[in-house]
A = this chain, B = another copy of it.
Amino acid sequence: MGDSSFGKDFCITIFGESHGSAIGTVVDGCSAGLRLSTDDFQAELERRIPTDPTLTSTRRERDEVQILSGVFEGYTTGAPVAMLTWNRDVRSQDYEELRFLTRPGHADYPMRLKYGGFNDFRGGGIASGRLTVPLIMAGTIAKKLLRLVGINVFAHTIQIHTVKMERKLSLEATRQNAYTNSVRCADAETAEKMREAILKARSQGDSVGGIVECIAENVPPGIGDPFFDGLDADLAKIIFSIPAVKGFEVGLGFGSSAIQGSENNDQYAVQEGKIVTLTNNAGGILGGLSNGMPIIVRAAFKPPSSIAKEQKTVNLKEMEGTTVQVTGRHDPCVVPKAVPVVEATVAIVLADHCLRSGKIPRVIGKKEIV
């Protein structure tokens, strides 16, 4: 399997570079018989672009997804679904002066070494947030498959810089409110503080990070594999593929390291004939398998590396120290944009495992004979 592929039964391959001609994905393994159109993708991709223009870079591409294969008469055929979007709003000249300057926090330097200088350095090439668009394309299909079996995946922002979401909302409220503001935080008051943190960083030519939480409701118990394809292991891998992620945890996560077993264990009970746990510190995953409780994971994003402030760097041609100011259009915070991306990646992993275990059928219904 190539390095640009992920998944066993719902297998995605992504391609493209930040300033190349197109980016896209091939989704191999999607069930036949799923209703699918370009509208499905547009709706998801628009959730990626906050309505508040002060929070995001001025590069604003309305990505239009083109479906190249795998859909016929409105339904998936079972063959690979290839999709792409053309890169349009590209201003590559912004990068010419960075040809030999390695931007702190970016992958410029190791990329250049790995690829002997042949990598497309403009906008980071393949190591770019732009590559999250194909993840959302694939995630759109995954989410549609999951919804067929009642699984719902949603994410929201729980921290921007030092502003934390402290209020404890119900899953219901979180799901409904996350997208009502531009930072994707379910609590309006906290959202406003988060927005201010972003604007403050922006005004300083600086940037901030944050934490995204993602929840999957209604995952039946027993999905996943104990070794090495645990749900948590697969989620960790794909989420660490999102640029800027530096941490990942499930349930209480790092917090569980500081409490005792008797506090951390989720005790069992029978409620309405179903087995439930009285707490959900495990975040819905035990031994790599779903236990029927909501799956809860968190991803930590570092502040974007592209900042206007002057930084020390090295000119790789001269091998001499110098300084760099990263100009061009850059987001002061990627967290709001990352919320639907985290959703997409979680959905991809769940779709993969639900297909493998037979919870999602390989063929959805039967084509009506016209």
Contacts of A210 in B (CB 8 A): 257
Q: Which of B11, B211, B241, B307 contacts A2 (CB 8 A)?
A: B11
A246 with B241: CB separation less than 8 A: no
Contacts of A206 in B (CB 8 A): 260-262
A305 within 8 A of B: yes
B68 with A22: CB separation less than 8 A: yes
CA distance A251 to B68 in the complex (A): 35
Contacts of A314 in B (CB 8 A): 268-270, 275
A14-45 contacts to B (CB < 8 Å) = 14-17, 20-24, 26, 28-29, 32-33
CA distance A335 to B194 in the complex (A): 36
A-B contact list, 15 entries, CB within 8 Å: A1-B11, A5-B5, A13-B28, A21-B67, A24-B82, A68-B84, A109-B221, A110-B221, A110-B286, A131-B227, A206-B261, A233-B241, A249-B254, A261-B305, A270-B321
Contacts of A321 in B (CB 8 A): 268-270
Contacts of A362 in B (CB 8 A): 357-358
A313 within 8 A of B: yes
Segment with Cβ contacts to B, from A165-173, A177-185, A296-304: A296-304
Interface string of A295-326 (1 = CB under 8 A from B): 00000111111110101111011011100000
Contacts of A54 in B (CB 8 A): none
10 nearest A-B pairs in the assembled complex, by CB-CB distance: A107-B287, A2-B28, A117-B367, A207-B261, A2-B11, A247-B249, A113-B222, A110-B289, A127-B287, A236-B236
Contacts of A250 in B (CB 8 A): 240, 246-247
Among A100, A228, A234, A275, max chain B CB count under 10 A is at A228
Given contacts A13-B13, A240-B233, contact A260 B208 (CB under 8 A): yes
Contacts of A56 in B (CB 8 A): none
Q: Which residue of B lies closest to A245 (CB)?
A: B232
Q: Which of B264, B287, B306 contacts A209 (CB 8 A)?
A: B264
Q: Which residue of B lies closest to A319 (CB)?
A: B270
A57 within 8 A of B: no
